[in-house]
Amino acid sequence: MAKARRSQNEKILTFLSKGKQLTVREARSRFGVQNLRARINELRDHGFRIYTNQKTVRGQKVTAYRLDNSDQELIRNDYYL
């Protein structure tokens, strides 16, 4: 039986659970996400605490998202939507 395809939200959660920050550009290139803000809002609606950080990359302000440390444990224990 073929392995089920993971949703964009699951891919984002897995990425964030590793303690990494995710930008719009990274989400688009890694996961094909066209509207990261919408995906992040969906995850927040499910109770995940995701923080928004502004950082400067090559002189431009970039928005990066990160998962709260306590939520990372839930993801590591295979909790998905």
Residue-wise pLDDT for 16-62, tens only, equals: 999 999 999 999 999 999 999 999 999 999 889 999 999 888 999 99
For residue 80, is pLDDT > 70?
no
Q: Is residue 59 part of a domain?
A: yes
Q: 0.85 exceeded by the pTM?
A: no
Q: Is residue 56 part of a domain?
A: yes
CATH code, domain carrying 55: 1.10.10.10
Residue 28 to residues 37, 76, 81, Cα–Cα distance (Å): 12, 23, 21
Q: What is the DSSP letter of 34?
A: S
Q: Is residue 28 part of a domain?
A: yes
- HSE value, Cβ hemisphere, 13 Å, CA-based, for 63: 9
Given a contact cutoff of 8 angstroms between Cβ atoms, the answer to whether 66 and 51 are in contact is: yes
State which residues form the domain around 41: 8-75
